[in-house]
């Protein structure tokens, strides 16, 4: 899908030099760089004439030649940057929040822009996931109600002709009290209806209609910023939910930018990509494509992220290896005994032996490359390339969580410290948005200036 905000080419975004953005009246330029300062690593983000500075204390083992890698390694250890926070806290609400993921990138970006984040409200029908989200974000208002029950709205038409029949109104008492007090609405509507693995109802799934509840709630809340993420295939929905959502937002006074953000292009060790919509009401957001270009970097490899866990011995549920069938153990042995990364056809299930379009299934990960997309099936060899590169097993939850951008300090325990089921854990981790994607979306949304000029109660 063509981005809604158009700007000229900016040249080599990997350069630390300021990169010009054609946004007169908003910012004149955007650039960033990492520099060593004694024992500290400093990140400078320059937006027009403003410079935002944050720093971390490096450990003696941190590399000196990969400053971005050192910054993110510290993040994965749970280190948050020191900053001279001057701006007011960004008040966030999130729909379909699960156990967290998207908000991690938003929080990191806000910190580096010298802002705080305050979690006001969150919604998810998974009660355990919502409890984990609330614990990590100190969220004030949470509910397991369906998002569609929070707001009264109707639309007519679709695509560019889509309009609200009347002004959306929040009908849930707790949420109606939040009108005017939310700065950023985040949402990742269910994407199974758009998945390329969903051959039955793909592109025409009733769940896809939940996408339109996001602009409805954003408009009803009078939120200055709305951020929506989903799979790339969402733009091919037969009911044109993306095009409809953009039309609804633009008619409500928002400027909109869209782009497919790719984690590996941002230097992250995973080839995951998501389609983002960023809308801002008081002034235009920065063009997502250009922010992505400014923050682009060569991807780190799998071993950068999980190499230190190769022989990690722990009874913690995040480090436990799932039970494998005898057949899957045999397939893994074949890969290692033959020093192969792709399983031969005669070693696959009978249904695959005439060829398969999913060649990565039962595959072994390559340590010197970024990982493929981490999905909810990362604990099962038959659902993707998830076999460890040096150990005869699949990825552990901790390894997959790192690849998704969850710090090692992230606590997935549920009530009374009980571990979650493996099915729940793999879903929470596999469905999450890698931190760098939410980070870039938040830079595009927040960097033009804060607080928003539309309201501040």
pLDDT tens string 413-454? 998 889 999 999 999 999 999 999 999 999 999 999 988 875
CB 287 within 8 A of CB 255: no
Q: Whole-number mean pLDDT of the chain?
A: 89
**Mean pLDDT, residues 122-146 taken together:** 97
Residue, of 84 and 201, whose pLDDT is higher: 84
Note the pTM of the prediction, 2 decimals.
0.90
> What three-state secondary structure class fits 154?
coil
pLDDT of residue 196: 43
Within 10 angstroms of residue 320's Cβ, the number of other Cβ atoms is: 15
d(CA 46, CA 150): 39
- Would you give the distance in Å from CA 63 to the centre of its chain? 26
Domain ranges for the chain, please list them. Answer: 85-301+434-446, 306-430
The Cα-based distances of 58 to 69, 180, 221, 277, 405 in angstroms read: 12, 41, 41, 35, 19
pLDDT band at 198 (very low <50, low <70, confident <90, very high): very low
Q: Is 191 a catalytic residue?
A: yes
d(CA 150, CA 164): 16
The residue whose two tokens read 């985040």 is 186
d(CA 165, CA 178): 23
Long-range contacts of 236-240 (CB under 8 A, 24+ apart): 236/194, 236/203, 237/193, 237/194, 237/203, 237/204, 237/208, 237/211, 238/203, 238/204, 239/158, 239/204, 239/208, 239/209, 240/158, 240/159, 240/162
Length of the chain: 457
- Residue among 212, 202, 203 at smallest CA distance from 162: 212
The residue whose two tokens read 């409805």 is 216
Helix, strand and coil content of the chain, in percent to the nearest 5, comes to 30, 20, 50
**Mean pLDDT, residues 104-113 taken together:** 97
Token pair belonging to 411: 């606590």
* 290-333 pLDDT tens trace: 999 999 999 999 999 999 999 998 999 999 988 999 999 999 99
pLDDT band at 359 (very low <50, low <70, confident <90, very high): confident
CATH number for the region 85-301+434-446 comes to 3.40.50.150
pLDDT band at 21 (very low <50, low <70, confident <90, very high): low
Active-site entry in 58, 102, 191, 278: 191
State the virtual CA torsion across 434, 438, 440, 443 in degrees, nearest 10: -150
In CATH, 306-430 is 3.90.120.10: yes
Q: Are strands 225-230 and 184-187 parallel, antiparallel or unpaired?
A: parallel
- Residue among 87, 170, 103 at smallest CA distance from 138: 103
Lowest mean pLDDT among 8-22, 161-175, 200-214, 270-284: 8-22
pLDDT of residue 192: 54
Considering the chain, what percentage of its residues have pLDDT values greater than 90?
Answer: 78
Residue, of 196 and 185, whose pLDDT is higher: 185
**Mean pLDDT, residues 352-370 taken together:** 82
The Cα-based distances of 254 to 124, 218, 336 in angstroms read: 26, 10, 54
pLDDT of residue 61: 64
Lowest mean pLDDT among 18-27, 44-53, 301-310: 18-27
Residue, of 61 and 213, whose pLDDT is higher: 213
């Amino acid at each position: 899908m063509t981005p809604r905000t158009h700007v000229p080419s900016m040249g080599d975004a990997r350069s630390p030099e300021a990169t010009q953005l054609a946004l007169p009246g908003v910012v004149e330029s955007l650039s960033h760089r990492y520099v060593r300062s004694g024992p500290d690593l400093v990140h400078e983000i320059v937006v027009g004439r403003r410079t935002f500075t944050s720093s971390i204390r490096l450990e003696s083992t941190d590399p000196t030649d990969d400053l971005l890698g050192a910054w993110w390694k510290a993040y994965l250890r749970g280190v948050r940057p020191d900053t001279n926070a001057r701006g007011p806290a960004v008040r966030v609400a999130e729909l379909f929040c699960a156990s967290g993921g998207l908000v991690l990138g938003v929080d990191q970006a806000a910190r580096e822009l010298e802002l705080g984040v305050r979690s006001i409200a969150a919604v998810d029908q998974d009660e355990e996931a919502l409890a984990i989200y609330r614990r990590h974000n100190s969220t004030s208002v949470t509910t397991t109600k369906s998002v569609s029950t929070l707001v009264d709205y109707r639309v007519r038409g679709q695509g560019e002709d889509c309009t609200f029949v009347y002004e959306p109104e929040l009908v849930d008492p707790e949420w109606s009290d939040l009108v005017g007090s939310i700065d950023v609405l985040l949402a990742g509507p269910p994407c199974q209806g758009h998945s390329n693995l969903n051959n039955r109802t793909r592109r025409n799934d009733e769940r896809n209609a939940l996408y339109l509840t996001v602009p409805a709630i954003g408009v009803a809340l009078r939120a200055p910023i709305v951020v929506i993420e989903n799979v790339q295939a969402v733009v091919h929905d037969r009911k044109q939910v993306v095009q409809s959502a953009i039309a609804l937002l633009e008619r409500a006074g928002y400027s909109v930018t869209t782009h497919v953000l790719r984690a590996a292009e941002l230097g992250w060790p995973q080839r995951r990509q998501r389609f983002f919509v960023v809308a801002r009401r008081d002034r235009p957001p920065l063009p997502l494509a250009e922010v992505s270009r400014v923050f682009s970097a060569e991807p780190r490899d799998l071993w950068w992220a999980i190499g230190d866990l190769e022989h990690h011995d722990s009874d913690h549920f995040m480090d436990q290896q799932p039970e494998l069938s005898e057949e899957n153990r045999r397939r893994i042995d074949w890969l290692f005994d033959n020093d192969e990364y792709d399983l031969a056809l005669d070693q696959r299930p009978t249904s695959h032996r005439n060829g398969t379009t999913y060649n990565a299934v039962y595959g072994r990960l390559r340590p010197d490359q970024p990982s493929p997309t981490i999905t909810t099936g990362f604990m099962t060899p038959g659902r993707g390339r998830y076999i460890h590169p040096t150990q005869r097993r699949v990825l552990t939850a901790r390894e997959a969580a790192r690849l998704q951008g969850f710090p090692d300090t992230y606590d997935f325990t549920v009530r009374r410290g009980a571990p979650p089921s493996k099915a729940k854990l793999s879903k929470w981790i596999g469905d999450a948005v890698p931190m760098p994607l939410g980070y870039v979306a938040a830079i595009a949304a927040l960097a033009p200036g804060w607080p928003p000029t539309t309201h501040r109660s």
